[in-house]
Amino acid sequence: MTTEAFDERDAALSELLGIRSSIDNIDAALIHLLAERFKFTQQVGRLKAQHGLPPSDPEREKRQIARLRALAEDAHLDPAFAEKWFNFVVAEVIQHHEELAGNGVAGAAAASGGGAGGAPAS
CB of 22 to a copy of itself, least distance (A): 5
CB of 105 to a copy of itself, least distance (A): 12
104: left (phi over 0), alpha (psi -120 to 50) or beta: left
Q: How far apart are CA 97 and CA 95, in angstroms?
A: 5
Alpha-helix residue ranges (DSSP H) falling in 52-121: 58-74, 79-102, 107-113
**Based on CB atoms, which residue is closest to a copy of itself, 20 or 115?**
20
**Based on CB atoms, which residue is closest to a copy of itself, 95 or 115?**
95
∠ Cα 28 31 37 (to 5°) = 145
CB of 81 to a copy of itself, least distance (A): 6
Q: Interface with a copy of itself by CB under 8 A: which residues?
A: 8-9, 12-13, 15-16, 19-20, 22-24, 26-41, 43-44, 47-48, 50-53, 60, 64, 67-68, 71-72, 75-78, 81-82, 84-86, 88-89, 92, 96, 121-122
**Based on CB atoms, which residue is closest to a copy of itself, 24 or 115?**
24
CB of 56 to a copy of itself, least distance (A): 13
Please choose, from the candidates 97, 72, 98, 100, the residue with its C-alpha nearest in 3D space to the C-alpha of residue 84.
72
| Count of alpha carbons within 13 angstroms of residue 119, beta-carbon side | 25
